[in-house]
Structure 1
Amino acid sequence: MTAMERGTDWLVRGGLRPTRQRVALAALLVGDGENRHVTAESLFAACVSGDEKVSLATVYNTLRAFCDAGLMQEVVVDGSKSYFDTRMDDHPHFYWEDEARLTDAPAEELVIAHLPKAPDGTEIARVDVVIRLRRR
């Protein structure tokens, strides 16, 4: 299966129409079958280095559409820096401060013993765990 075919299948699974730009971005994200952590800027740079012409605004909008379709999840670091993760199961992340890079952390080593009770009328939707690392 080619990267474009894998990207198209991924879009269809999310209920999204496979436009030329969406397929090109999806192929970069999931075309090799591996999970990715990207920023809009890093995905845009990958497009620029390839043959696909898209604007940074289109990349942002498309990543949001992929998240809304349940194909990706957004991981916010520092309240302003967003990474987009193609791995959809609940899992923790390492944020490498010196490199501004996000990677998966081993979920089997994380134990959350207790969460606070959600306020009345609400429920906990998910818990994001980002473990910040820096070199000594």
Structure 2
Amino acid sequence: MYSPSDAIACLRKAGVPVTHQRIEIARVLFSAPVHMSADQIWEQVKRSAPEVSRATVYNTLRLFSEKQLVRELFVDPQRIVYDSTTTPHFHLYNMDTGEVRDLAADEIEVIGAPRLPEGVELQEVDVIVRVRNCGA
């Protein structure tokens, strides 16, 4: 289990000021690899810290994203999930169930990179494989 002291160490290492609310949000995100929406995170946090507001969760997720503690995945135009695994990897998104899972390194391979305009550099490559249930 991801302890409060683990969360504090993680936040300090990233330069994030430590608060009780941020510790609880970190515990939800970093206890195991997750792909959760902000509202799902808020629901989990409320179990141990009912005083944490939805706005606090959204603001903290923005901060965690800026500090590269989580990745924002735009899985469809109406849905963002937060991925606690920040190393490069790809995703499978079931559009019918909403499930997002990591793809193993041997499940997909991207070869090469696009030619970029002068004056820019590649930041990252996001690959989200979108699927639907058969017969849906």
TM-score by length of 1: 0.89
1:5 and 2:11 matched: no
The CA distance in 1 between the partners of 2:4 and 2:129, in whole Å, is 34
Spell out the pairing of 1:12-91 with structure 2 (5 A cutoff). 12-30=12-30, 32=31, 34-91=32-89
The CA distance in 2 between the partners of 1:72 and 1:3, in whole Å, is 18
Backbone CA RMSD of aligned residues = 1.6
Aligned to 1:117: 115
Residues 24 and 52 of structure 1 are in contact (CA less than 8 Å); yes or no, is this contact kept in structure 2? no
Q: Deviations over 1:84-123 (max 9, x none)?
A: 1111110000111111121101122322123320122212
- Structure 1 residue ranges without an equivalent (≥5): none
Report how many residues are paired: 134
* % identical equivalent positions: 31
Residues 38 and 61 of structure 2 are in contact (CA less than 8 Å); yes or no, is this contact kept in structure 1? yes
- Structure 2 residue ranges without an equivalent (≥5): none
Q: CA deviation at 1:46?
A: 1.0
The CA distance in 1 between the partners of 2:99 and 2:44, in whole Å, is 16
The CA distance in 1 between the partners of 2:125 and 2:2, in whole Å, is 35
